[in-house]
């Protein structure tokens, strides 16, 4: 079982900028390490999968390096997992970005292009979400704003029995945040969302 005393790991897919999230965790005075060897996830108590880039390219890396199995093992042994932006999208089964490609399949569902006749795509900037006061949102006001930059989103759906979704609206509602046991995901970038984003990651790192 993963120990709370272990380090925080950030998975490097080779397509994302890891600097901002690494600096945030260092700011929170937690020891952090970039994970290049995916078989070593059990060294960490908390693992973050950040994401900027193409779902299709990320999917190829996941398949080539057997990341799906390693993440599943990490989660099954009570490791705390957090996917950010593309990292959250990859937690689902598939995406239509640049043709259909497969994700990690941690949660059922797919990723599709944001379509709007009224608003600019991609969705860029701060947008409000209303959270549910779950412990990861401790000391974060309701209707706080977080920073988004994305052209794809997880399709709107009713809550599953074992997954809780929080929504944001950009003409139409889309999933902005989720939790499933010891698994969390945000479509927004906490590391670029100021003090509330910092607090969210701080709360995540306190979960035992």
User: Which residues belong to the active site?
Assistant: 85, 189, 191
**DSSP labels, 139-180:** T--TTEEEEEEESEEEPP-PPPSS-EEEEEEESEEEEEEEEE
Query: Coil, helix or strand for 150?
Result: strand
85 sits in the region (left: phi over 0; alpha: psi -120 to 50; else beta) called left
Count CA atoms within 13 Å of residue 123 on its CB side: 28
Give the span between the Cα atoms of 35 and 33, in whole angstroms: 6
In residues, how long is the chain? Answer: 208
Structure tokens at 40: 């070593």
| C-beta separation of 172 from 156 below 8 A | yes
């Amino acid at each position: 079982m993963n120990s709370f005393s272990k380090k925080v790991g950030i998975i490097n897919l080779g397509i994302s900028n890891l600097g901002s999230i690494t600096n945030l965790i260092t700011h929170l005075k937690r020891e952090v390490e970039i994970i290049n060897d995916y078989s070593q996830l059990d060294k960490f108590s908390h693992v973050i999968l950040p994401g900027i880039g193409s779902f299709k390219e990320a999917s190829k890396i996941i398949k080539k390096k057997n990341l799906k199995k390693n993440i599943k093992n990490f989660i099954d042994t009570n490791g705390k997992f957090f996917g950010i932006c593309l990292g959250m999208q990859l937690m689902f089964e598939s995406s239509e970005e640049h043709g259909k490609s497969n994700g990690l399949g941690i949660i059922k569902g797919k990723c599709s292009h944001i379509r709007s006749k009224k608003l600019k795509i991609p969705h860029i900037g701060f947008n409000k979400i209303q959270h549910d006061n779950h412990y990861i949102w401790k000391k974060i006001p309701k209707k706080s704003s977080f920073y988004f930059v994305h052209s794809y989103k997880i399709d709107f759906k009713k809550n599953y029995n074992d997954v809780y979704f929080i929504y944001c609206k950009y003409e139409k509602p889309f999933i902005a945040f989720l939790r499933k046991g010891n698994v969390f995901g945000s479509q927004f970038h906490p590391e670029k969302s100021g003090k509330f984003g910092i607090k969210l990651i701080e709360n995540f790192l306190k979960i035992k």
